[in-house]
Structure 1
Amino acid sequence: MASTEAYVYTRQEFAVLTQDAKDGKPDARQYIIIDNKVYDVTEFVEDHPGGADVLLTHVGKDASDVFHAMHPESAYETLANCYAGDIEPAPSQLQNSEFATEMRELRDKLEGEGYFNSSHLFYLYKVVSTLGLCATAFVMLYLWGKTSTLAVLGAGFLVGLFWQQCGWLAHDFGHHQCFKDRTLNDIVVVFLGDFCQGFSLSWWKNKHNTHHASTNVSGHDPDIDTAPVLLWDEIASANYYGSLQDDAFSRFMAESVLPYQTRYFFFVLAFARFSWAIQSVLYMLNEGALNKSKKLCFFERACLFAHWALFTGAAVLWIGTIRNMLLFFFVSQTATGYLLAIVFALNHNGMPVISQEKAETMEFYEIQVVTGRDVILGALGDWFMGGLNYQIEHHVFPSMPRHNLAKVRPMVRSICKKYGVNYHETSFLQGTVEVLNALDIVQKLSLRLSKKSF
């Protein structure tokens, strides 16, 4: 029989093979390394169930850790179709490789001890109690919506809190923390995310998966790409001002808005929920389902339509005046904006932002730790933040159920201390001050850059 022995690439060959892709040449082949095997993902990029962007951030790199963190065992079957050969084993040239090795060992240990298995009773309680917030708000509108402005305001706030808590639950199911069957998780996300919250599963996964794969990496992480509304770091500021066009809008934003971003930061948060909801609708209308499924596309669009029909219908049917209808809409939208965005800001904003060049010298686990912020809270704070106050643990183990994150926190912190990797934890108030300080540093830089740009 003919030999079927795989071709073994040298590290130098792989570097040459992938240089065109790194340089952004349009016809370049796209290769990645996973577990010392080379995969040609050129034809697979657009069909990647987690979105094309997340895969493209790791072209030409060893993507083993991020692959293991975000994929089930069944993904190996799909990956096998892209197999191109092996690559010579070599010691890691990345900094803190021993730290990464111990984090991998911890992950394997925790998997064996059941830390990645969810409590279905916990998630049943979370879903039922969260839906109870919406039911309470609707009862208030039904009983007193035509007679009491106070009841309308209270119901609006409860709906806002309901949408926030739906967001945390949809996040958990979106990371496949509850069920081993990923389809079941996605069904729950379409219900909690698209229908209840008005946020598209496909829109969220396309954005959030990339965030996890390249956390706080400038030019890759969409969560810090908020120009021209907010700038979070010196890299983004320099890139933004360096690419400005001399037109009225650019001049206005550069000279009169961004240099004062700490003054309007909390004002902007009020519009976060509405902005994300509109982005979800536009994404589904223009892009469709992330996995190209016509069935998923239909259900997502139907659920988004039903979401707006339900909450608009409740306002029209059960609220007595136009003024109170507008109050309900304003309070529910802005309450959710604040309740979501103040938590999101604490997760990574104000933490180190890494250039793409620097990221290539760092292990995946180190990037996840040094760019995250844990917030020390009690049981009520854990509920309010949906477990995202354990942001470091969530990022190193994204598929771990939130109810186990506090248990593994001392283990992760201990390994970080052993290898001198910065593990940052703070209070809610101090974390917020850190976010504002980061904005202040960049706004001062923006003021100087705006004077040079025009």
Structure 2
Amino acid sequence: MGKGGQGAQNGISKGRHISMDEVKHHDKRGDQWLVIEGEVYNITNWSRRHPGGSKVISHYAGQDASDAFRAFHNDLNFVKKYLKPIHIGSVTDTKETQVEHDFRQLRATAEKMNLFKPNALFYVLHLGHILLLEYMAYAVMAYFGTGWIPYILSLVFYTTVQAQTGWLQHDFGHISVFKNRFKLDHLLHFLTMGVTKGASPQWWNHMHYQHHAKPNVMNKDPDVRVEELFVVGKIMPVKIAKDRKKSMPYNWQHRYFFIIGPPLLFPVYFQYMLFRHIFTRKAWWDLLSVTLFFVKFLYLYLPVLGLGSTIIYYFVLRCLESHWFTWVAQSNHIPMEIEEDTAKPWLALQLNATCNVEQSFFNDWFTGHLNFQIEHHLFPTMPRHNLHKIAPLVKSVCEKNNIPYKIKPLGTAFADIVRSLKHSGELWYSTYNTFHSP
């Protein structure tokens, strides 16, 4: 795998011999090649029709995308038929590194252990508890009135619905539930992300697949394109400080994070971005799903709360959900390394950008098993209930290759978000004063 003789085995006719150095030069917009299993493909035009979005595949232009390709696709035979028309040759000088070899052996072991096979009962029970909580969120006020106790209970129930549906739609979005019957995953993703959460499935795919392809890579991972409000890592603060004479007071970001970070991510920023995506991309099916959410929400809660109180209820709900999501999602990534793209091997790339949170029944449920963020990033289509089974083997491979494998208590992971923001802000401040002092 990764060597230039795989083409014939894949049913791809041999083209010309191409050096990896030549491939690296084709990494510009309008001229993009990449390598998969030793074969070179011209994705310049194909990227626009790529089902996962043009950016996620373009992020590997000029690079070997073999392990990323394998990570995102369940049915390789189905996908490879699309590769034949854009095949242009074979690389002549690639060598499988020890890290790549060990990771590919690890994946083969996971497949032999049937760890990519989902447990239907797990997902039925998970969906069932979401539907029960959504009913309770409405029923507690419908039957007991809108006093403070039923009102707060309703918000607790509905916030939990939104958070847990977020973890469930994440599984459908990664095609990890129905596997090769991917149309069912797409349908359930449409229903959970759109009708239950009121968000755009296509927008989620566009953003989240890029994040997985190049996590914590500046200018590629949309989750770290936050320089208008925050600087993160060690490289971004220095770069922003040198390039800009006027910017946010980032040395205070660990404080204003509590005001404009978790409270406003969902109720303001995400609301704007998902509707912007829907209308600019003409994603009318997504608009339908979001419309169905609001029709259902208003039909149920307007008679109970009235217009003004329903709007307030919705904003508070989004604010609470935003706190839950932000603290969980950022605890695995923001404290890790954030840098320019250096074409790291898949294992090193993912471990550089992710860490785990300790396992417990509560942590598994609260984070949607994203406390196993390392394993999820290495194997995004693996059903989440199996991530803990592969974790010891991942840790062993990391130790063999001297790659840090970090696990933290949940509280420490949350505190590290603030600590890392404080450190990055201080780094920006010292650099800014050096380059722009009078």
**TM-score for the superposition, normalised by structure 1:** 0.88
Contact 2:23 2:63 in 1 (8 A): no
Which of 249, 255, 258 pairs up with 1:266? 258
Which of 15, 35, 38 pairs up with 1:7? 15
Q: Distance in 1 between matches of 2:194 and 2:272?
A: 12
- Which amino acid is 2:83 matched to? L
Q: Distance in 1 between matches of 2:110 and 2:359?
A: 24
Superposition pairs of residues 327-342 of structure 1, within 5 angstroms: 327-342=312-327
Contact 2:16 2:88 in 1 (8 A): no
Which of 327, 334, 351 pairs up with 1:369? 351
Matched, 1:286 2:277: no
Corresponding residue number in structure 1 for 2:291: 305
Contact 1:137 1:155 in 2 (8 A): yes
Matched, 1:81 2:66: no
C-alpha change, 1:110 and 1:321, in structure 2 (3 Å) is: closer
- CA deviation profile, 1:274-315 (whole Å, cap 9, x unmatched): 222331121011113xxxxxxxx3321111112123223433
- Which amino acid is 2:16 matched to? V
Matched, 1:64 2:66: yes
Corresponding residue number in structure 2 for 1:16: 22
Superposition pairs of residues 179-198 of structure 1, within 5 angstroms: 179-180=178-179, 181-198=181-198
Corresponding residue number in structure 2 for 1:200: 200
Corresponding residue number in structure 1 for 2:142: 142
Q: Distance in 2 between matches of 1:35 and 1:177?
A: 23
- CA deviation profile, 1:211-260 (whole Å, cap 9, x unmatched): 1111111221111111212211232223334443x6xxxx3x43xx4220
Task: Give the secondary-structure state (helix, strand or coil) at the position aligned to 1:229.
Answer: coil
Q: Which moved more, 1:423-432 or 1:263-272?
A: 263-272
Query: How far does residue 154 in structure 1 lie from its aligned partner after superposition?
Result: 2.1
Contact 1:110 1:116 in 2 (8 A): yes
Corresponding residue number in structure 1 for 2:101: 101
Q: Distance in 2 between matches of 1:158 and 1:152?
A: 10
Corresponding residue number in structure 2 for 1:315: 301
Q: Which has the higher contact order (CA 8 A, sep 6+)?
A: 1
Across the two proteins, how many residue pairs are aligned to each other?
420
- Which amino acid is 1:343 matched to? V
Task: Give the secondary-structure state (helix, strand or coil) at the position aligned to 2:140.
Answer: helix
RMSD after superposition: 2.0
- Which amino acid is 2:22 matched to? V
C-alpha change, 1:308 and 1:229, in structure 2 (3 Å) is: farther
Corresponding residue number in structure 2 for 1:133: 133
Task: Using the aligned pairs only, state the percent identity.
Answer: 24
Contact 1:228 1:258 in 2 (8 A): no
C-alpha change, 1:350 and 1:338, in structure 2 (3 Å) is: same
Matched, 1:116 2:102: no
Q: Which moved more, 1:115-124 or 1:231-240?
A: 231-240
- Which amino acid is 1:179 matched to? F
Contact 1:170 1:189 in 2 (8 A): yes
Q: Distance in 2 between matches of 1:124 and 1:419?
A: 39
Contact 1:18 1:30 in 2 (8 A): no
Query: How far does residue 419 in structure 1 lie from its aligned partner after superposition?
Result: 1.9
Query: How far does residue 17 in structure 1 lie from its aligned partner after superposition?
Result: 5.1
Contact 1:258 1:446 in 2 (8 A): yes
Q: Distance in 2 between matches of 1:243 and 1:203?
A: 31
Q: Distance in 1 between matches of 2:207 and 2:122?
A: 27
For structure 2, the 5+ residue unaligned runs are 1-11
Q: Distance in 2 between matches of 1:329 and 1:298?
A: 23
Q: Distance in 2 between matches of 1:355 and 1:194?
A: 34
Q: Distance in 2 between matches of 1:34 and 1:16?
A: 15
- Which amino acid is 1:139 matched to? A
Contact 1:6 1:86 in 2 (8 A): yes
Query: How far does residue 450 in structure 1 lie from its aligned partner after superposition?
Result: 4.2
